[in-house]
Amino acid sequence: MAQRTKHEDCSLPTAAGPLTLHAVYHELYSAPLPSTHRFPMAKFRLLRRLLLDEQVLQANQIRRPLSIPRRDLERIHRRSYHQAFSRDQLSRSEQRRIGLPATRPLVQRTWLSVGGTLLTARLALQHGIACHLAGGTHHAHPGFGSGFCIFNDVATTARVLLDNGEVQRLLVVDLDVHQGDGTAACFADEPRITTLSVHAASNFPLRKVASDIDIPLEDATGDDDYLAAIGDRLPQVLDDQQPDLVLFNAGVDPHRDDRLGRLELSDEGLLRRDRLVLDAALRRSIPIATVIGGGYDELMPLVRRHAIVIRAAVEQARLFGLS
């Protein structure tokens, strides 16, 4: 990691300060879907546009990923599964469980997005912090997809980095409102990867897969209780595990206006959450990579919500003097 300054030692930089955050995006992420489809696929394209228009990011901060190499994807996903998906040969029930059609553009964006999370993680290891304007497909298991998740980008990234010796220990902080069952299933027997999931207990998936640490919350949990639940556990987990990298799923579906969420977070609550997680990692000199995770609402309010973690990351990168 680059040299950094502790939070307390550093006053807020002026607006004219350097923009230092590294971000990852590909123009093929928003693959076309039938207009009646309920997945908000345009959000990736609109998120990049919003971040540029509002000068949260500049175009030269955004890197374009390559597709995940097959040998890397196969560290998590079975060849029989990824081939059947990529050739549109999954059974109807397997396809229905995913909820997305295996069109050519969709297949392409699926391979790209996993490559994007891997690139984001490597940028975080290099620079201290980096953000993917996609990712967080945490319901994907090694042999099947589920709930709009086809390949598990965070699990694949974690496994590749570990196998390559790029990290020795890794923590997944999954704050999407749905439990991170796919990621938990991938690492049930991997002590070097710790999985932490904070989610609405009554929400999808019906059958949870135990993470190393699960924090299930009651319906209608609001900002203060939610933030207390994370603040009570995360610092201790970081101190105990001392990971070389945090992979942070900053899903915005805990928001009170989310169609699938069941929790009651405000915009301010999401911002405080993201600051809390980023600060907890960075003040311990632990690099952190973010993915946007889930969110279900009208497009523009949703995109604004996904921008929160990027804004928080820009702010924290400045506070900690990362470049």
Q: Summarize as ranges the residues that interact with Zn ion (CB under 5 A).
A: 176, 178, 251, 253, 294
Nearer to Zn ion, 65 or 294 (CB): 294
Task: Give backbone dihedrals phi and psi of 247, rounded to 5 degrees, phi first.
Answer: -105, 115
Look at phi and psi of residue 201 and say left if phi exceeds 0, alpha if psi is from -120 to 50, else beta.
alpha
Rounded-to-integer distance, Cα 116 and Cα 111, Å: 9
Nearer to Zn ion, 212 or 253 (CB): 253
Residue nearest to Zn ion (CB): 294
Nearest approach, Cβ of residue 240 and Zn ion (Å)? 27
Nearest approach, Cβ of residue 147 and Zn ion (Å)? 8
Rounded-to-integer distance, Cα 99 and Cα 170, Å: 30
Q: How far is CA 67 from the centre of its chain?
A: 17
Nearest approach, Cβ of residue 259 and Zn ion (Å)? 11
Nearer to Zn ion, 296 or 320 (CB): 296
Nearer to Zn ion, 128 or 294 (CB): 294
Nearer to Zn ion, 178 or 275 (CB): 178
Dihedral angle of Cα 290, 291, 294, 296, to the nearest 10 degrees? 90
Q: 202: exposed, middle or buried (C-beta count within 10 Å: 0-12, 13-18, 19+)? A: exposed
Angle ∠(18,112,146) on CA atoms, nearest 5: 115
Nearer to Zn ion, 264 or 279 (CB): 264
